[in-house]
Amino acid sequence: MNKSPSIQICDWDSLFDRFFHHLKTERTYSMYTLIAYGIDIKQFYLFLDQKFGLEKLPPVKVSKQVLRTYLGYLRKQNYLATTINRKIACLKSFFGYLYRQNHIPANPAGGLFSLRTEKKIPQTVNYNNIKQAFTLPDENSVIGIRDQAILELFYGTGIRLSELSNLELKNIDFVNGLIKVSGKGNKQRLVPLGQFASQSLKKYMEVREQLLQKTILKDVQAIFLNRYGKPLSRRGIQRRVEKYLRLVSTDGTSPHVLRHSFATHLLDGGADLMAVKELLGHSDLSTTQIYTHVSTERLKEIYRQAHPRADRD
């Protein structure tokens, strides 16, 4: 049954502002998701203005057909299916919000479906190359000690780039060997610190004060700092990881490759899929299951190499 709008708001800008305030304060979306959604909303906004004229098309008049016309436009622009799916998710979230707030009588985005995408096999780095990467940072410099801790933490815990960059002193529990991580949607989870990650992090914490002395900032809580004593940015972390992985691997150099390798090597070692899901902070098991394909391929390779009746041609 359709609802009657409690208020008539035709100002798109006002609705966008309310929507983003909702995402930021109530849904606690990350800054990067908000930026991506901002780009998507702006593109949709410009399309409506050029195609229909915003004065002639207030939110209450946007129909499912209008949205399909927009998606058809995106396909003609040769956007990747994954990019279009993100824009669909943004539209569904936006119009769902308007409907729940009684700004529109029906949700035109309710029947939109994501495009089928081909699942990509995650890139991984073999363990020998990862071990080699760990030896590359200069152990006699503060920056090198910091970089080694970053590498060990990525591979030893499987946390995301955003999660590592947001780590603060209060999140580390050396006594129990745990770190508290704030994941997507500000969901918190505890992740165990392995022996090597713990040792590298402790070594860095012993010299972190040397970086702090180079800044006038007070009470810096971020664990990883740049050479000026300020919190190390996401891009800064990414560049450091890429620097070392580029020297040992051609299979991928981003921090996410270490996360993929963490999950794959756990499953190769016999870890339970549900346990890996919790460690990675996935909300849906299907997201974790992509790593089983990698492990299955590894099993097939072992079989082909070892079994006398396997087809090795």
Catalytic residue IDs = 160, 184, 256, 259, 282, 291
Q: Environment class of residue 11 by beta-carbon count within 10 Å: exposed (0-12), middle (13-18) or buried (19+)?
A: exposed
Nearest to 146 by CA among 160, 164, 128, 132: 164
* d(C-alpha 81, C-alpha 87), whole Å: 10
Q: In sequence order, what are the beta bridge partners of 192?
A: 178
Token readout for 115 is 């495009």
Angle, CA 235 vertex, CA 232 and CA 237 arms, to 5°? 55
Contact (CB, 8 A) for 158 and 278: no
Specify whether the CB–CB gap between 303 and 295 falls below 8 A.
no
Rounded Cα distance, 59 and 9, in Å: 8
Cβ count near 6 (within 10 Å)? 9
As a whole number of angstroms, the distance between CA 43 and CA 87 comes to: 9
What secondary structure letter does DSSP report for 231?
Answer: B
Check if the beta carbon of residue 278 is closer than 8 Å to that of residue 189: yes
Q: Which of 276, 295, 296 is nearest to 286 (CA)?
A: 276
